[in-house]
Amino acid sequence: MTDIPDPRQPSFVLVRPQMGENIGASARAMWNFGLDRMRVVAPRDGWPNERAVALASGAGRLLDHAGLFDSVPDALGDSTYVFATTARPRGMTMPVVTPERAMQQARAILAQGGRVAVMFGPERAGLENEDIARANAIISVPVNPEFPSLNLAQCVLLVAYEFRRAGDTTPPEVMELARTDFATGAEISALGDHIEARLEEAGFFFPEPKAEGMRRSLRQIWGRLPLTRADVQTLHGMFRQMVRWAETKQRDP
């Protein structure tokens, strides 16, 4: 896991953002993934922006330290590599990369001592070609072509998420998936009910104060196990047999 905040991180440049709410939500999204270097270019409603501060709750620090610029060239002045985010490529002669690949490249460039910026366009129009022309590469999110409209903060969230993921060491917790006929949630619930009822009769849930916790942890066991339909039938049978046995002992002790 990387440090929080990441000592080597890209700056996120919001170009001519319109709604303060979206600037605030973008600040939250950045900080959710440990990024705290925001730059704002010619925000429509001026700066500082009250609504941005209100929405940033918890990430307001990013706005306090955000760099304010009049133009895109000013905001990119110290950057050695610039990404531009667009809903879809604009047919420019420029590398088009996925967010994942882009943030892997960003980490590589930062590790070499480079300075990386990621541009995000205004809510409606997005970045203008003149802005994109100043980038080294385009980040294109693989969205549903029938519904590609990501809002500003969502786009910021996905890129920030990918930057963190690119440096993340969290184990994916690999799990074997046998080709088996898993039981359905309904079958698991029925099994849980059956077993719970039998154990109730058997006086298993004792003492009373602990009963609720015991029931829950029992349910958790069934919910957790990747039980097959066959497993479930076996377990039902086991408990039916325990009851028969108990009844027999009752008849002839």
Of residues 94-153, which lie at the interface with a copy of itself (CB under 8 A)? 94-98, 100-101, 105, 108-109, 112, 114-115, 117, 129-130, 133-137, 141-150
Query: Which of 14-22, 39-47, 176-184, 240-248 is the region at the interface with a copy of itself (rule: CB under 8 A)?
Result: 176-184
182 token code pair? 């898993």
Convert 144-192 into a string of H (helix), E (strand) and C (coil): CCCCCCCCHHHHHHHHHHHHHHHCCCCCCCCCCCCCCCECCHHHHHHHH
Chain positions 77 to 96 lying near a copy of itself, rule: CB under 8 A, are 77-82, 92-96
CB 222 within 8 A of CB 191: yes
- How far is residue 132's CA from residue 135's CA, in Å, rounded to a whole number? 5
Q: Does 196 bind a copy of itself (CB under 8 A)?
A: no
Residue 165 binding a copy of itself, by CB under 8 A: yes
Is 51 one of the binding residues for a copy of itself (CB under 8 A)? no
Residue 186 sits in the site that holds a copy of itself (CB under 8 A): yes
- Distance between CA 135 and CA 121 in Å, rounded? 13
Q: Which is closer to a copy of itself, CB of 17 or CB of 161?
A: 161
Q: How far is the CB of 2 from a copy of itself (least distance, A)?
A: 10
Q: Which of 125, 170, 249, 252 binds a copy of itself (CB under 8 A)?
A: 170
Peptide bond into 95 cis (omega under 30): no
Minimum distance of a copy of itself from residue 18's CB (angstroms): 17
For a copy of itself, which is the closer residue by CB, 226 or 237? 226
* Residues 27 and 63 sit within 8 Å (Cβ to Cβ): yes
Q: State which of residues 51, 123, 154, 242 lies at the interface with a copy of itself (CB under 8 A).
A: 154
Measure CA 71 to chain center. Answer: 32
